[in-house]
């Protein structure tokens, strides 16, 4: 249930570091995890030294999260989208709030009703402004009750809205700063998403453990393995957490390529700026089975699948395989 706040969430951009909150566990469940002191040491990360994917011009494309220079101009479509999303947020969040005690009592692990309201909010927000994503490869979607990990490219805050059109229930791996956004943060806690404190290795390990438990509880996951939005549309280096989790719990990975969301609301914008020329599309690729591949092979195959559906000028070519021992959960929003 991320729709309302995401219209304004770019203020918490990837180049901005908020003051770390006190170590807590979210009231919505033990899986929205902020940084906590732990005796367990995080696996060492070699992302800075590891080779990264090549961009279309052969130069490395990856590394630290991008600092997006924000476009503060407000277009008519952006203003309309913000108003619409806010308007839908009021009745739907109230329904979610009233239902929450019963959801916690009868469906504490999966919270299906809250997921339904969350997806409905996102879909109505897009439909009201005239956008209905087109699905390509729908035959590759899992059954609605099957547990999988969806991994997708990430270029826009509206990727969140778009994923609701899969019509599949899933939990998100999102940066912990999103919990600070009114309505959105409360909804995320009620829906029991996984929250990650970026840059804190202990918190990343906690988030990884939460991912495993979420899968074991019968929930699918949505992960953006780049860990941040790409400003130019090219894939950035993948983090390995989602693939290690898939291997550990033995669930398939389903790669997705999202097209048109960057045109609708690029990483540099506070609000949507234009209707995408070719609409918004979701390309669903064939699943990658964990019993047939190592987690590093799954990472490479997912990268190549997602990359293959991007416009030719944005394709990166081959995936960066992480160094042994590197585990990062990734982030969504």
As a whole number of Å, the end-to-end CA separation of the chain is 12
| Of the listed ranges 138-147, 194-203, 248-257, the one predicted with least confidence | 194-203
Contacts of 94 (CB under 8 A, 6+ apart): none
CATH number of 3-38+67-314: 3.40.1130
Among 143-157, 171-185, 311-325, the range with the most confident prediction by mean pLDDT is: 143-157
The domain ranges of the chain are 3-38+67-314
Reported as a single tens digit per residue, the pLDDT across 83-122 is 999 999 999 999 999 999 999 999 999 999 999 999 999 9
Strands 253-259 and 170-175: unpaired
The backbone region for 185, taken as left when phi is positive above 0, alpha when psi lies in -120 to 50, beta otherwise, is alpha
Q: What is the pLDDT of residue 181?
A: 82
Look up the pTM and report it. Answer: 0.78
Task: Dump the DSSP string for 36-81.
Answer: ---SSPPPP--TTTS---B-TTSSB--SSPP----B----HHHHHH
Helix (H, G, I), strand (E, B) or coil at 330: coil
Dist CA 297 CA 284 (whole Å) = 19
């Amino acid at each position: 249930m991320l729709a309302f706040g995401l219209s304004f969430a770019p203020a918490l951009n990837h180049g901005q570091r908020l003051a770390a909150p006190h170590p807590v566990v979210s009231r919505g469940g033990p899986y929205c995890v902020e940084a906590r002191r732990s005796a367990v040491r995080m696996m060492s990360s070699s992302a800075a030294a590891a080779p990264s994917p090549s961009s279309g011009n052969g130069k490395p494309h990856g590394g630290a999260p991008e600092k997006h220079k924000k476009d503060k101009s407000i277009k008519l479509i952006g203003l309309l989208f913000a108003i619409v999303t806010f308007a839908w947020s009021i009745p739907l969040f109230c329904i979610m709030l009233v239902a929450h005690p019963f959801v916690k009592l009868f469906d504490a692990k999966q919270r299906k009703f809250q997921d339904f309201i969350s997806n409905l909010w996102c879909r109505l927000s897009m439909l009201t402004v005239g956008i209905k994503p087109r699905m390509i490869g729908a035959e590759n979607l899992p059954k609605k009750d099957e547990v999988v990990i969806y991994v997708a490219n990430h270029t826009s805050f509206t990727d969140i809205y778009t994923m609701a059109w899969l019509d599949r229930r899933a939990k998100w791996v999102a940066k912990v700063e999103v919990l600070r956004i009114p309505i959105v943060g409360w909804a995320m806690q009620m829906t029991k998403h996984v929250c990650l404190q970026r840059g804190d290795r202990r918190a990343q390990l906690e988030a990884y453990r939460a991912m495993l438990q979420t899968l074991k509880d019968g929930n699918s996951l949505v992960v953006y393995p780049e860990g941040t939005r790409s400003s130019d549309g090219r894939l950035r280096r993948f983090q390995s957490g989602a693939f290690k989790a898939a291997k550990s719990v033995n669930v398939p990975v389903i790669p997705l390529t999202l097209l048109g969301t960057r045109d609708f609301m690029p990483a540099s914008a506070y609000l949507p700026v234009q209707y995408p020329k070719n609409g918004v599309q979701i390309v669903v690729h064939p699943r990658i089975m964990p019993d047939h591949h190592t987690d590093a092979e799954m990472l490479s195959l997912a990268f190549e699948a997602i990359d293959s559906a991007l416009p030719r000028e944005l394709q990166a070519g081959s995936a960066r395989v992480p160094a042994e021992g590197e585990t990062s959960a990734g982030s969504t929003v």
